[in-house]
Amino acid sequence: MDDEHDEDHGKSSAPETVSFPFDRMTIARFRETFPKARWSDRLKSWTVPGSTARRRIDRWLASEADRKTPFEEVKGRDAFQFEPILSPYLEVHDRGLRVRTPYSRAVVDELRQVPFARWNADDEVWEVPYSSYDELQQRWEAIEDAARWAEPSERRKRAEARRGTEEEAKTKRRTSERRKKRLPVPSDDLPPLGRPIGTFAFGIVIITEITGELVDPKEVAQHYPDTSDERVWAAWRLPTMEELVNTWPARREPSEYEKDRGWWQPTLNELREARRQAKSRERRKGRNQEPVPGVQGRQK
């Protein structure tokens, strides 16, 4: 009953996805818990609507992991003890294994393919039951490589290597253009105001104003190579988490016309990534607004 209530109140939110090994009983339990879930051949996973879908899916995955037979759990523990993954990114937990890495989209994509792996938002760590150890082991090389690539020290090394190069100059020019928060749009096919749209240059944004100022293609050719004389500038801002949650995804990838136009209705994967970024922004903003202990009382 609670799940149905949540889904009804989340009709406008982007659906979440979940995949797990095929088993008739598991699917029956899943359909009973999520009666509005639908299978997507394109995504090769189940989609669950509702603003609380991710939280409910994680609870269900945790309960399903507890259903694994003692034999599967023992088998996974024995496999780990016999051939353990020795890595600073892996730690033993009371209910299984934990994976903690710098953020990497590649790491997330790999872990989402591990049966019953789930994200623990409170501790900011992925949890994997011993029963899924074989699958984790098969994917570990890709996970560890992506985690190393995402380490701050490695990012700094790459930045040092780019210093003084044309690549660094291009990056600075792109950053400067981004700060202007403007987007060239067709004068005869304007994007909607106040609604998240997908773009090549800036990901998902919200158009706040159509300035009407004509775009000079020569001036911005480096940043927008396909811009024509029939484009005008539109001002944009980043969407909030609430706005992203209440955006329904496109049912298909953008068409060639939409790509040439420069804006489209966001896809599920685009929305998922944008929500992750919005959550990080709001978390950082919350930390920055927290009063410093011992200082608040001295403020006048």
Q: Which helix (H) or strand (E) segment is 159 a member of?
A: helix 152-162
How many Cβ atoms sit within 10 Å of the Cβ of residue 6?
A: 18
Q: How far apart are CA 53 and CA 16, in angstroms?
A: 6
* E-assigned strand segments in 153-202: 182-186, 196-199
Q: What is the pLDDT of residues 63-94, one digit of tens each?
A: 777 666 667 778 888 888 888 999 999 999 87
pTM for the structure as a whole: 0.52
Instruction: List, for residues 12-47, the tens digit of each pLDDT value.
Output: 456 788 877 666 778 888 888 999 988 877 667 788
Determine the pLDDT at residue 229.
64
DSSP state of 14: P
